[in-house]
A and B are shown apart, each in its own frame.
Chain A
Amino acid sequence: MIVTRTQKAGFSLYAGLLLLVFYFPVFCIIVASLSERRFFSFPYPAEMMTTKWYENAIDSPQVADFVGISLRIAGLTAVVSVIIGFFSALAYARYRWKGRKTFQRLVLLPLFFPQSVLGLALLMWYNFLNITPAWWTAAIAHTVWIAPITTLIISIQAYGLDESLEEAARDMGASRWQILTKITIPLLMPAMISATCFAILLSWGNFALSLFTTGADSALPEWLYARMTTGYQPLVPAVGVLSVMVAVVFVIILFGIISWTNRKSRKSIASH
């Protein structure tokens, strides 16, 4: 369909405006984190600009604790949910079995479920089991929510998996285990790496689930929330920006992998 230049310009303008609004809060936080005043007001003179809050944040042993806990939760969540996600993606997209249709619906259920309520439910469940909530119980909560996402990410690639490759390997005498380790896992590797990044990122930023399930070990978003609701503190935007920066590093890695695999698959199509 012909798209006229004015139409394209109109859509671009709209998209540009939306992106500006979308990144406005991030801009605000960066501005606030650089202001020396204890009580933020805008605009502030250039000589009031400081990186002191960043230094404070990096030096603060308290912040370091929260970061450590968040990282531990993210790491455990990523490992477990990618392993579970790999197998459930095969069940979701690759194998034909009786309960598959139901399973596909079931996978989505935790995603369509209010996270705060899930967090509470887990809290009660831990209480019933006499488990004291700690960072690893939060990781379980995150996994319940993130494993469906890793499943979906890996499924998308598993759908594209050429079944005949596995069949060819079996035909040449490979066992199920050999097929899994020499064919299936290498072919799904890009999706698994993407899924790992997604898992780390989503866990890193999650608040609703952590709120009830971390017990004494508070994660970073919780700490920020507590400070936000009890009035302004200049340390908060600085820590917020730092947390965004950690996320951005992972995002860059993630998108690098995605575009690399895209290019690779395009190349392999072109060579046919």
Chain B
Amino acid sequence: MDISTALPILEVKGITKRFGKFVAVDNVDFFIRDGEFFTLVGPSGSGKTTLLRMLVGMEKPSSGELKLRGNRINELAPNKRPTCMVFQSLALFPHMTVGKNVEFPMNIRGVKDSDRRTRAMELLTLLHLNPYRYYDKNVTQCSGGERQRVALARALAYDPDILFFDEPLSAIDAQLRKVLQKELKDIQRQTRKTFCYVTHSLEEAMVMSDRVAILRAGAIEQIGTPDKIYASPKNAFVAEFMGEVNLLSIVATEPGKATWEANLNRLPIHIPVDPTLESGAARKLLIRPESLRFLASGEVAGNSIPVRIINEFLLGSRIQYHVEVVPGCNLTVERLREERTTATEATLGWEITDSQILES
């Protein structure tokens, strides 16, 4: 079944959460499709954790409605909801073994001893934990990655309609995190469960998700597939959030032209033609580091400016350069290793079509 046409399983309608005067989540609307990997992403303080806690029932929304398979669930306590969360701290029960942790939800439901054990063994195997080695192991003796898997196995043992994740990978080192991200995605495919993941890393969201919602100050900025968001970020906030991009402050002058306000210097540049853009309007211009290149003498580009190369960083097959346009205004350039330059002065160029005008 194609995920992009699946029916919504969870609908969020006008959800708001106020703490006193502070509005943590402001009138948020979205839905999660049955069987998709959905990710809420936003910087710290964007309200993503509060939103998540409302979805699982640990906070009560101040207003708005939550519907699970068409039924209102606002008033349902977490223990009555067919949803389950993997906590940032994982919240493994420190006084129980791995096996007992995984069996906990079945224990609560009164599943027979032997069935519980069989299921726990299955789940541990699914999570690449050898059940004969781990079943009787104490959770406090497990490594970070193992604990991660135990927490996921325990949540799956609850057999929830939707599985929520509150940045469970944030405390894991970068290398292991990449492995676990892929595993998580695999497990989601295999079990066909709906996953709703929360993270502050757009990169993490892009790797795993079918769809991503970007939160800022309690409201959703953009929602869509990773491809769509990457190709056309809605505004400068989303673009900046995607990682290292160049965002130039510009003021439109005439169609296709603008001045770049580079740290008190005003440089005339060419921009894509946008009929809605009035003269004098302030915008951001997005140029990806890989769209910038150093021009050979005589080479022509849509825009070209002289720069000084101040630093280079080797990133595997690519090289990143920091270049100074005017003092106090730097750009990031990313080129393949084969195109390495050793010069200190160069001419930087980019094509007009490689730049995007964004609301600031």
Contact = CB atoms under 8 A, between A and B. Distances in A.
Interface of A: 1-2
A206 to B, nearest CB: 38
Interface in B30-70: 57-60
B77 interface: yes
Interface string B64-84: 000000000000010000000
A1 B77 CA distance: 10
Contacts of B57: 2
Interface of B: 57-60, 77
A2 B76 CA distance: 11
A194 to B, nearest CB: 31
B310 to A, nearest CB: 31
Contacts of A1: 58
B58 to A, nearest CB: 6
Contacts of B59: 2
Can you list the 6 inter-chain pairs with the closest CB atoms, starting with the nearest? A2-B60, A2-B58, A1-B58, A2-B59, A2-B77, A2-B57
6 contacts: A1-B58, A2-B57, A2-B58, A2-B59, A2-B60, A2-B77
Contacts of A2: 57-60, 77
A201 B58 CA distance: 44
B18 to A, nearest CB: 16
B89 to A, nearest CB: 14
A2 B74 CA distance: 13
A1 B58 CA distance: 6
B44 to A, nearest CB: 15
Nearest to B59: A2
A3 to B, nearest CB: 11
Contacts of B60: 2
A1 to B, nearest CB: 7
B14 to A, nearest CB: 21
A1 B87 CA distance: 13
B143 to A, nearest CB: 25
B79 to A, nearest CB: 10
A198 to B, nearest CB: 32
Contacts of B58: 1-2
A127 to B, nearest CB: 50
A7 to B, nearest CB: 12
Nearest to A1: B58
B24 to A, nearest CB: 15
Nearest to B53: A2
B47 to A, nearest CB: 18
